[in-house]
Chains A and B, each alone.
Chain A
Amino acid sequence: MGILKTFALGGVHPEENKLSSHAAIEVLPVPKQVIVPLGQNLGAPSKAIVKKGDKVKVGQLIAEAGGFISANIHSPVSGTVLKIDPAIDSTGYRRPCVFITVEGDEWDENIDKTDTLKAEIALTPEEIVNRIKSAGIVGLGGATFPTSVKLMPPPGKTAEFLIINGVECEPYLTSDHRVMLEKGKEIMVGIQILMKALKVEKAFIGIENNKKDAIAYLSELSQSYQGIEVVPLKVQYPQGGEKQLIKAVVNREVPSGKLPIEVGCVVQNVGTALAVYEAVQKNKPLIERVVTVTGKGVKKPSNFLVRIGTPVEQLIEAAEGLPENTGKVISGGPMMGKSLTSLDAPVVKGTSGILIMEKEESGRKTESPCIRCSKCTYVCPMGLEPFLLSKAAKLGKFEMAENEMIMDCIECGSCQYTCPANIPLLDYLRLGKLKVGQAIRNRNKK
């Protein structure tokens, strides 16, 4: 194979634990009630356009985008709207959600429910972007940035490459892996649609080398498509981080503080490509996604296709129940996921997996003094100094933190993962980013 491409600085290699990589995607039955949060994406929350008592069908618009950076939300089920009330979600807070009592499974007439592959793309680039926008598609890798906004480069900047993120560098998660294996053909068409929308000639699919079957399958498929190339990448975390992926695949570094479009690249998750295919070719808005349920104590690590709004409890039931000695339930992967306060929290557009950790591995080890070993600096993929930024944030020296480029931090967690003294580096770093971000916003307002 030769030397695999990878990103330039730092990185760690946690245990991969891909326990569910052989579990084929299982369609989970529709729940009795869904709880659809109105804030599922980066940017402004959406505004509900239904009210208590309304009858809805699958795929019907129930909330409109609340701003430029926002997305539509569609009903994932058919039934009656019970109420619009705050409910707990993965942020740890109760946020406004639309509660729908499920009745049957009636889909909106416009949606094509068939499975046949539709390879011909009939729409123009502008129509494609509009369709993606109205379908409420957001980045399914976890960042949930509205896809249509990404496909509209600001004036003066043009896209040169489309990079598809099939890396899935987080340990335990396998939803992207299964999607690539089982929906490879649809993904290829989805990539072509994105290429057309962006008006680019070349697309790369980055896949980490621990998914050899996916690499082989997609390489085979890509032979029939012009301009799509599969790039196997070294297994290193955070290979799937946008900036790291661009560096690895096309060897360009996104300048500090800027977006990937600055170097002519647009990155989309492989699940988003599939959602784009379904939206454009089958008229199906984003109402369901593949979620991995995994963990060392889980009896049946699985990948489920679930409707948005399904409470997490139901997925765990389907994986044969919550293990006895559960200590922590995480939405996402172990490096960047959010720990859940309650199993009532629903699956949202950005939920890539549910990881159940046993009690023994859930606690944090005791903190000891920093020995200035600098390992955190060596592993930081953005070339920052986590020990310095974390200390500055802890002491309230936010100006110093800003000068040392704390806003470049991608919160990957490599520093805290490595620290021999078990210092909560990322906790303070996040605090620092919050305060510096606020200060920058206040400064820009003046």
Chain B
Amino acid sequence: MDNIIVIAVLALGGLGLIAAVVLFFIASKFRVFEDPKIDEVEEALPSANCGGCGFPGCRAFAEATVKSAKENKSIEGLNCPVGGNDVMQTVGNILGLAVDATDPMIAVVRCNGSFAHTPAKVKYEGATSCAFAHALYGGEGGCQYGCLGLGDCVAACNFDAIHMNPETGLPEVNDKCTACNACVIACPRDIIELRKRGPKDKRIFVSCVNMEKGAAAKKNCEVACIGCSLCQKACAFDAITITNFLAYIDFNKCTLCRKCVEVCPTNAIHEINFKPRKPKPESVPEKTVVRKAETVDKEAVPAKEQIEKGDTKAPDAATEVKEDIKVTKE
């Protein structure tokens, strides 16, 4: 009996030893040389493999940085949005290079066509896919540029950073956003854009991408951008351009002075994370109907508050607008 056990142990043990030695030699002979820095850089990365950097996975990004450091002596143009400045500094230190700090970005949903603002005129039934609905028709509310609310962006996010608000029908981005660009690509209407987070997370943007003439846009959505150019005239920093009846704020030029927000007649420009303005004594004709659903929409509150509390500029702007725009019934 013992003999068998001893033989078995020796035989299998011997086999294992031989295999180990053979493998050791093969491994060293056929070894692929890889710069050890690649491993170091990869360690420093967040391992999300999200593709936000433009490379297929963190290892590929690590390889690209090491290669760029060797060839160009810099890693300019390579950035990990998920890791942010901290990670890029670490990577720079590993490679012995100085890295410029980049402004942190965040995904911004540029549409405020909620159920309240854009009442549904038809009922959609079909696959829960924005890409499909976009090819099928314009949208339940009639605005053919606005958010369809079926959640392709939500499905694309790997960081739990964007969720559909069931009361408004619009997606909302939270702080977990790493600006990896997945939702931007997923949206068939290019409604989501990566913009600078801004100092203390403050940012201003036009929450509309409608390129129809003002009257047509307003017909379907009460908070649409009508391309009236009041914001462009109000901006002292040349940050606003109007193309195809749509205003756009360049976030590199914007100084967050908030003048454009005050003058917009349809509340299409949103300011995020600002302190509420000081209330002005005059009362203002009720222009926007406050609905319960909208209080959930964090972005709309500052603008409405401002109108309710009274602002001398807004009523003038409103009357100015009423004269300029002729609403034609089709």
Contacts and interface: CB of A to CB of B under 8 A. Distances in A.
Contacts of A435: 131
A93 B144 contact: yes
A428 B138 contact: no
B216 to A, nearest CB: 7
B126 A93 contact: no
B216 A86 contact: yes
A370 interface: no
A260 interface: no
Interface string B123-142: 00111010110011110001
Interface in A75-99: 86-88, 91-94
A341 B137 contact: yes
B138 A93 contact: yes
Given A94-B138, A94-B212, A341-B137, A364 B144 contact: no
Interface residues of B, number: 17
Contacts, number: 47
Given A427-B132, A428-B129, 6 more contacts: A87-B330, A92-B138, A342-B121, A424-B127, A427-B126, A427-B127
B121 A341 contact: yes
A341 B126 contact: no
A143 interface: no
Central interface residue in B127, B132, B135, B144, by most chain A CB within 10 Å: B127
B185 to A, nearest CB: 11
Q: Which 3 A-B pairs have the closest CB atoms?
A: A92-B137, A427-B127, A424-B127
B15 interface: no
Contacts of A86: 212, 216
A249 B194 CA distance: 57
Interface in A408-440: 424, 427-428, 430-431, 434-435
A341 B138 contact: yes
A363 interface: yes
Interface of B: 121-122, 125-127, 129, 131-132, 135-138, 142, 144, 212, 216, 330
A427 B129 contact: yes
A196 interface: no
Q: For chain B, what secondary structure do more than half of its interface residues adopt (helix, strand, loop), or is it mixed?
A: loop
Contact of B131 (A88, A364, A431): A431
A424 B136 CA distance: 14
Contacts of A94: 138, 144, 212, 216
Interface in A93-110: 93-94
A393 to B, nearest CB: 9
Nearest to A344: B330
A431 B132 contact: yes
Contacts of B216: 86, 94
B131 to A, nearest CB: 5
Contact of A424 (B122, B126, B212, B330): B126
Contact of A431 (B125, B129, B137, B144): B129
A87 B212 CA distance: 11
13 contacts: A86-B216, A92-B136, A92-B144, A93-B144, A94-B212, A339-B137, A424-B126, A427-B126, A427-B132, A430-B135, A431-B127, A431-B135, A434-B131
Contact of B122 (A341, A427, A431): A341
A434 B126 contact: no
Contact of A430 (B132, B212, B330): B132
B40 to A, nearest CB: 33
A344 to B, nearest CB: 8
Contacts of B132: 427-428, 430-431
A369 B129 CA distance: 17
A428 B135 CA distance: 11
A394 interface: yes
Nearest to B131: A431
A322 B121 CA distance: 17
A434 B94 CA distance: 45
